[in-house]
Amino acid sequence: MNDSQLLRYSRHILLEEIGVEGQARLLAANALVIGAGGLGSPAALYLGSAGVGRITVVDPDRVDTTNLQRQIAHTLARVGSFKADSIATAIGQINPDVLVTAVTAKAEGQALQAWVQAADVVLDCTDNFQTRHAINKACVHHQKPLVSGAALRMDGQVSVFDSRQPLAPCYACLFPEEEAPEETQCATMGVFAPLVGIVGSMQAAEALKLLCGTGESLAGRLLMLDALHMRWSEIGTRRAPGCKVCGTRPGAH
Catalytic residues: 186
Query: What's 3's DSSP letter?
Result: H
Q: Determine contact, residues 170/145, Cβ cutoff 8 Å.
A: no
What is residue 162's DSSP assignment? -
Strand order in the sheet with 30-34: 99-103, 54-58, 30-34, 121-124, 146-152, 155-161, 221-226, 231-236
CB 24 within 8 A of CB 70: no
CB neighbour burial string for 76-100, b if at least 16 within 10 angstroms, e if fewer: eebeebbbbbbbbbbbeeebeebeb
Backbone Cα Rg of the chain: 17
> Whole-angstrom Cα distance, residue 161 to residue 159?
7
Q: Taking the CB of residue 253, how many other CB atoms lie within 10 A of it?
A: 9
Q: Read off the DSSP letter of residue 80.
A: T
